[in-house]
Amino acid sequence: MGDVFLSYARADREQAERLAAEIEAAGYSVWWDRHIDGGSEFAAEIERRLEEAQVVLVLWSKDGVASRWVRDEAGIGLEAGKLVATSLDGTPPPIGFKQIHAIDMTDERGHSDLLRALGHRLTSLPETPGPEVERPAANRAIAILMVAMALVVVAAGFWWTNRSSESEALASEQASEQTGVAVLPFRSLSDDEDDKYFAEGVAEEILNRLSALAELRVTARSSSFQLAGTDLPVGEVAKQLGVTHLVDGTVRRNGNDWRVTAQLVRAEDGSQLWSDTYNVTGSDILAVQSEIAERAAEALGVLLDGDKRSRMAEAGIDNPEAYALFARGMELFGRVHNQGATYENLAEANEYFDRAFALEPRFWNAQVAAIDRYSHLLTDHSIGFPVGGPEVAEEARLEIERRLAAARANAPRWAYAVLDQQAIQYSNDWSDARDIVERMLREESGCSVLTSYNDWLVIRLGLVDEYIDYSRRLQKCDPLTSRTPLVAMLIYSGKVDEAIEIAETSGDNSEAMHRIHVLALVAAGRTEDAREVLDRMDPQAYYHGQAETWILAAEGDREGLENQFEKYQQQGAPDVALLHVATLMGDRETANKYAARIDARPAGPIWFANSGIVTCHCGNGFDLDATPRFKARLEEAGASLDLPSPVDWPLQP
């Protein structure tokens, strides 16, 4: 079986032969019609080889576009999703194939672009040649060398996605041997405010390229960019990010000219391991990003070969303008969430996300960030805030599905597990829930995907311990991300002391962390300490009300809970607040009433599976028969109908 099926016109045979030799020299096997065995039925052999190949490489040319055989073979490759197209003489692809970019082989970069594209498609190492196709001895040596190099990488701690349990254990033990590096946002030295975001885009491009190297553990943007503009010394920044090395730099623009400086610093002593200055014009800045990433990698001791350079190039997007738009959107996104995010005030951030994606469709994470706005609408609708009727909620759900589908169509394969988990939450079919959630929890590369509710159905599916392991893995590459979900899961797993320790030592002073800290202290029977944490919270915040309700319930203060319920009614609080108090009072009838109202709304089951667990932490709290739609979804997912409670609430029956 060949890795690559080569389709070409007879007039181009000489060029096809040279190209086949070049691809084989790179370590891949190529099948083309010179390999047809004597006596084989020509068409049948062609069809079999097309089906077996991982890539169908079509050589378009003046003669190629006129060849019925080439068109048919290209059509099979396109339908199977494995077509790679080139143009030998600059001839564009024929109608029906114009949506597939054809690599221009008349360009001096054409051959390297082709090998990079093949490297991206052929994700596994070339197979050892079997009896059907005898490869040249040189290619066998290349394959053996690549396998040997792969084994060295595994020994150094790289976790393969499809690994055996034995290699997984080895990788876990050796993971600490990876060199930890963080790329800080580059500083703009220009007067134009827009250049600040462009500079951040340059830094993120470098970050993505370094992340493609297995020898390096690169801190996610969501953590490293949090420290922008701080006056912390190098050692403290590295300590907070859990790395040994830092990359930072500056960008200065003057008209169409750019000056970029970059340096790699060892955090232990602040010494500069490498630095350089680049003066470029216009789009040449794209080459600078690649150069900086490669020089930094080499300074960190990574031996770069053709395969690694190709992976770095594939990880890059080469569109700092798109990153600048995304960075602007994320800044607005963070500001709005600190003030209290709503469907309305997230609109401006989404405008930037949409512009980023339109400029560069490979920038798929912009679509993932944009779904948060519609999630807020669904939540508001389900808990009882009027937002325009049932059709509005359904439109929001469909918009989330559309955006996640667009993200998946442009995302790398490693992101599929997380994107699928995000999508199923909002779908009308939860039957694959267990498989999808388990795949997400096994995924090693989820740090770069923006997520919400990554704990969806985890408790009801009995995957609490798996989630804790997953959360701790993410913490290594994204150390400043919120640890509130981890604290919650530790409470459910009975590790309350560890949950309290994390809450108290994380340095997270958010209302969300204070709230879960209160729950952990209540679970430990330390209500007085819980009240001290409550006093540090904003009395006007909804989270304050939730935390106070837990304390009153833990103390068995029925009168206090009744007063809380009455206050919520007078304030016109959403149904979820009233449901929360009723469940902890043990008032089943009232709890069932509010639960039924939520379930009847279009997004009700979604809210119960997502926010519902975060809001109450009180077990079922109501009869599932009062929420038939939610119950049906749980049964469809194969999830438990019995939700454990992390606290033995004294007023519940």
Question: Does 295 score more than 90 pLDDT?
Answer: no
Continuous segment of H or E residues that includes residue 400 = helix 390-410
Residue predicted with more confidence, 447 or 242: 242
**Residue 70's closest CA among 19, 7, 14, 15?**
7
For residue 454, which amino acid is it? N
Per-residue confidence (pLDDT) for residue 10, from 0 to 100: 87
Per-residue confidence (pLDDT) for residue 141, from 0 to 100: 33
**DSSP-assigned states of every residue in 204-225:** HHHHHHHHT-TTEEEPPHHHHG
Mean per-residue pLDDT over the chain, rounded: 82
Helix, strand, or coil (residue 282): helix
**Residue 83's closest CA among 72, 67, 92, 95?**
72
Per-residue confidence (pLDDT) for residue 388, from 0 to 100: 67
Give the tokens for residue 282: 């216009």
Instruction: Specify the range with the lowest mean pLDDT, choosing from 39-48, 449-458, 507-516.
Output: 39-48
Report the share of the chain in percent with pLDDT over 70.
87
Question: Does 132 score more than 70 pLDDT?
Answer: no
Helix, strand, or coil (residue 150): helix
Spatial neighbors of 324 by CB under 8 A, at least 6 apart, are 194, 197, 198, 200, 201
- Confirm whether pTM is higher than 0.85: no
The mean per-residue pLDDT over the stretch 161-182 comes to 46
Question: Does 8 score more than 80 pLDDT?
Answer: yes
Contact 403, 384 (CB under 8 A): no
Contact 319, 360 (CB under 8 A): yes
Question: Does 131 score more than 50 pLDDT?
Answer: no
Confidence of residue 414 (pLDDT cuts 50, 70, 90): confident
Contact 609, 636 (CB under 8 A): no
Per-residue confidence (pLDDT) for residue 98, from 0 to 100: 63
Per-residue confidence (pLDDT) for residue 103, from 0 to 100: 86
Instruction: Specify the range with the lowest mean pLDDT, choosing from 156-170, 286-300, 366-380, 462-476.
Output: 156-170
Highest mean pLDDT among 201-205, 228-232, 302-306, 634-638: 634-638
Contact 183, 216 (CB under 8 A): no
Confidence of residue 149 (pLDDT cuts 50, 70, 90): very low
| Greatest Cα pair distance in the chain | 92
Per-residue confidence (pLDDT) for residue 155, from 0 to 100: 27
> Angle at the Cα of 533 (from 527 to 538), degrees rounded to 5?
130
Per-residue confidence (pLDDT) for residue 153, from 0 to 100: 27
Per-residue confidence (pLDDT) for residue 624, from 0 to 100: 94
Cα separation, 85 vs 61, whole angstroms: 11
Cα separation, 634 vs 640, whole angstroms: 7
